[in-house]
Amino acid sequence: MRGRREEITLNSVNRLAVNPSESAVLSPAPQHTCGTLTGPDRTATHTVPGWTAQFWTQQAEHPLQRAEFNSRLSSMMEVKRPELTEFRGVCMSHYFTDNFDNVEKFQARPDDILIVTYPKAGTTWISHILELIYFGKSPEVLPSLPIYECVPFLELSAPGLATGVELAEKMSSRPRLIKTHLPLQLVPPSFWEQNCRVIYVARNPKDNVVSFFHFDRMNFVDPEPGDWNSYLERFCQGKMVFGSWYDHVTGWWERRQTHPQLLYLFYEDMKEDLPRELDRLCDFLGVALGEAERDRVLRATGFEAMKNNRLTNYSTFDMMKHDISPFMRKGMVGDWKNHFTVAQSEAFDEDYRRKMKDSTLSFRMEL
């Protein structure tokens, strides 16, 4: 079965031929054929006009194997980091807007659960908790796919991966758990029309920006982060992919007033007392967990458990370079103290007070 056609920008076509154990054949430009990489049970073909290659990946395979294959493929290619662009007044990158026509038209179902966060606020954590609440009732039916396959990232459209919309549309599970980082105004209208449940997780901005900085160093789907000082400045100006942290957290906070189906959680509360927050979540969802199931969810969603779990630690996601910084990095509240200078912290607090003065939303910067 032939799969989806992908586009990817190559640093150098010649790099496709670097590994002698693979068959990577360069053929003449008129056919735009760059090479064929034959893996143990799959084939990718690259067609290259100039620096742009297209390739097909077979779809009907286990995603972990596919991830390994893609990883070898991407080591021969260099995915180009995107530029920060503006989209409808919000800073974005093209990986999250290329497929926006389809994102906007996405048809939510009434029992879909939308997981919303500003990047690095604990998306994977809450996603795994929800996965286990719904699909982890017994060890036999525990999730067996990486989290980015089980919980589609709605607006993502990146080389070598099915788009978030495609993944979500293919899902037969009920409920569908769908993740987004979109600010309130960009969320597809059908989620409101269908009165879907929304789980929002917010994290204090100082830890959020530190986590985002390290993530952008290792994640080649995001623009080049530059150094810490300039990164922090850009964060304060809202010049991040998905825009201003302030607009995001306050926009979704206000939405609670008109959408009672929205539960607003805090990373710090989850760190402080996960059993309590799990109970709140279950109350909101109307789910009753037995004691053994509840224990299983709590055990499996601790930081160390998720760090060591290949399905949740993104080690199979080939556009992340964990040797630069691991995805599951520290998982703590207050790590910002290891990054901010005293002057940076004071200036940040001043700016924070100004920007948050009209909001009833407040954050704990330490526990």
- Residues acting as catalytic residues: 181
Pick the stretch among 39-47, 123-131, 256-264, 352-360 that binds ligand A3P (CB under 6 A).
123-131
CB of 124 to ligand A3P, least distance (A): 3
Unique residue bearing structure tokens 């509360």: 269
Unique residue bearing structure tokens 């990054």: 339
Identify the residue among 35, 63, 82, 122 touching ligand A3P (CB under 6 A): 122
122 vs 159 by CB, closer to ligand A3P? 122
- Interatomic CA distance for residues 180 and 25, integer angstroms: 39
110 vs 302 by CB, closer to ligand A3P? 302
CB of 279 to ligand A3P, least distance (A): 17
Contact 74, 160 (CB under 8 A): yes
Contact 313, 186 (CB under 8 A): no
CB neighbours (10 Å) of residue 197? 21
Q: Is 179 in the site for ligand A3P (CB under 6 A)?
A: no
Unique residue bearing structure tokens 């779990």: 309
Identify the residue among 94, 330, 339, 355 touching ligand A3P (CB under 6 A): 330
CB of 214 to ligand A3P, least distance (A): 6
Q: Is 364 in the site for ligand A3P (CB under 6 A)?
A: no
- Interatomic CA distance for residues 165 and 156, integer angstroms: 8
> Is residue 260 classed exposed, middle or buried when 0-12, 13-18 and 19+ CB atoms within 10 A define those classes?
exposed
Pick the stretch among 52-60, 186-194, 242-250, 302-310 that binds ligand A3P (CB under 6 A).
302-310
Q: Is 180 in the site for ligand A3P (CB under 6 A)?
A: no
Q: In Å, what is the CA distance from 81 to each residue of 93, 119, 259, 362, 366?
A: 9, 17, 37, 34, 33
Q: In the window 181-210, what residues touch ligand A3P (CB under 6 A)?
A: 207
- Interatomic CA distance for residues 125 and 144, integer angstroms: 16
Q: Is 124 in the site for ligand A3P (CB under 6 A)?
A: yes
Q: Is 335 in the site for ligand A3P (CB under 6 A)?
A: yes
Q: In the window 216-255, what residues touch ligand A3P (CB under 6 A)?
A: none
Unique residue bearing structure tokens 């940076």: 344
123 vs 250 by CB, closer to ligand A3P? 123
Contact 266, 201 (CB under 8 A): yes
Q: Which residues bind ligand A3P (CB under 6 A)?
A: 117, 119-125, 207, 211, 214, 301-303, 306, 328-331, 335
